[in-house]
Amino acid sequence: MKETPKHNAPLLWVTTLMFSITFLVAAVGVPAYGITHGFDPSQWIMMLATVALCGISITAGYHRLWSHNAYNAHFLIRLFFAFWGTHALQNSVLVWASGHRRHHRHIDNNDKDPYSIKRGFWFAHIGWMLRAYPSGKDDFSNVKDLMKDPIVAFQHKHYLLLTLASNILVPLLLGVIHGDIIGTMLLVGVLRIVITHHTTFFINSLAHMWGKQPYTDTNTAKDSPLIALLTYGEGYHNFHHHFQTDYRNGVRWWQFDPTKWLISGLSWVGLASNLRRVPVFKIREAQIKMQFNQASKQLESCHLANLETWKSSLEKEYDEFLVTLSEWTSLRADWYQTKRQSLHNALQFKWEFAAVTTRFKEMEYALKMQQKRLKLYTLNFQAAAF
């Protein structure tokens, strides 16, 4: 079915008014009240704290926990994420996760991706929620696993009541405690919503427009440290779309990903388990494939006297890469077979496990060295070309 043209899709008035009113109050009402009455530091701290609680509950809860099953979380942690996710005013876990799973499955398909960037920045950022597009229609056939979660089921069933109560009572209570109800309602109740909304929306829009593609170029997702800084680590989006079940988005230890650090911290105290990680070998494999693609494109676009020599060198590296991949596949198959056969003998299993682990590490190191050689190859080629 072809997507309904933009001007024919019915306008969703409730959503449109909600986004419009909160934005206008944040853009006009907050500065006006600040000039006439002022805000004190404690109100700004409360606003920033609730922004962080809502944001991290979307990234660690709605996204990595429920949408991708990247780890398991204790009942209390799931309850915490569900509460602050409700407060974030981004729909129920069930609706959010269902749409997100469709986005991953049909990324960049204008007819099936709910927020395809191929339809423009405005559509991917917020426009997809303002009209009843067929691509955004609820379909819970892909979240049957989540329907079994009692927290998710309860939140979805009572979402309207829960979100109204949360978004009124939390800022109201903080305002009563502080002594300035109107000012606190403006910051914690309205500005917080706008900031939380648009930082999340950046993932659907800017993270598909700005940045690099070190892992795959088969879709529009990009890695951007700047977007990661604004979105609790979600800006490493190229990695995420290629390895969506990994609990990390910033896979390197130094990459800014507070969501990853939170999940890891929860696992240390027993509140999270089964953290899913992509093998280092598979990550390097993706990176090297991209390096080969980029190097090949550069070679095809240049006219050097010794171009055939450069091509021959690249082909040699690629053949070595294929040999390593073949060895990895064979070793994994042998390992699973050995594991099944030697489970009854603990000593034999321990010995063979150590031997296989050593060989895996050797192949990971071989890929690491090849990655460095390819980088040097590209630099030398670029120098020769210019």
195 phi/psi in degrees, rounded to 5: -65, -45
The answer to whether residues 235 and 312 touch, using CB atoms and an 8 Å cutoff, is: no
Q: How confident is the model at residue 338 (pLDDT cuts 50, 70, 90)?
A: low
Q: Which one is predicted more confidently, 340 or 66?
A: 66
Q: Which one is predicted more confidently, 352 or 290?
A: 290
Residue 373 is predicted with a pLDDT of 74
Q: How far apart are CA 302 and CA 204, in angstroms?
A: 36
In percent, how much of the chain has pLDDT > 70? 82
Where do the domains of the chain lie?
Answer: 13-273, 280-385
HSE-up of residue 77 (Cα within 13 Å, Cβ side):
20
The answer to whether residues 379 and 297 touch, using CB atoms and an 8 Å cutoff, is: no
Q: Which one is predicted more confidently, 113 or 284?
A: 113
With CA atoms as reference, report the closest residue to 73 among 60, 86, 85, 84: 60
Q: How far apart are CA 335 and CA 320, in angstroms?
A: 22
Q: Which of 218-222, 256-260, 301-305, 316-320 has the lowest mean pLDDT?
A: 301-305
Quick check: 67 pLDDT over 80? Answer: yes
Q: Which one is predicted more confidently, 311 or 107?
A: 107
Question: Could you report the per-residue pLDDT of 140-166, keeping only the tens digit for each?
Answer: 999 999 999 999 999 999 999 999 999
CB count, 10 Å around CB of 45?
11
Tokens 């009402």, located at residue: 29
Q: How confident is the model at residue 336 (pLDDT cuts 50, 70, 90)?
A: low
Mean pLDDT of 269-282: 93
Tokens 């056939």, located at residue: 141
Mean pLDDT of 318-346: 67
Question: Could you report the per-residue pLDDT of 316-330, keeping only the tens digit for each?
Answer: 766 777 777 777 677
Residue 380 is predicted with a pLDDT of 62
Mean pLDDT, all residues of the chain? 88
Radius of gyration for the chain, computed over Cα atoms and rounded to the nearest angstrom: 25
Residue 365 is predicted with a pLDDT of 74
In Å, what is the CA distance from 139 to each residue of 13, 81, 102?
Answer: 21, 23, 9
Q: How far apart are CA 214 and CA 228, in angstroms?
A: 15
In Å, what is the CA distance from 242 to each residue of 237, 295, 317, 354?
Answer: 9, 21, 24, 30
In percent, how much of the chain has pLDDT > 90? 70
Quick check: 345 pLDDT over 60? Answer: no
Residue 358 is predicted with a pLDDT of 75
Q: Tell how many helices (H) and how many strands (E) occur in the chain.
A: 16, 2
Q: How confident is the model at residue 292 (pLDDT cuts 50, 70, 90)?
A: confident
Residue 305 is predicted with a pLDDT of 59
Q: How far apart are CA 94 and CA 76, in angstroms?
A: 18
Alpha helical stretches, state H, 205-301: 225-230, 237-242, 258-268, 280-300
Residue 369 is predicted with a pLDDT of 79
Helix, strand or coil, per DSSP, at residue 273: strand
The residues, ordered by sequence, that sit 6+ positions from 144 with a Cβ below 8 Å of its Cβ are none
Q: Which one is predicted more confidently, 264 or 8?
A: 264
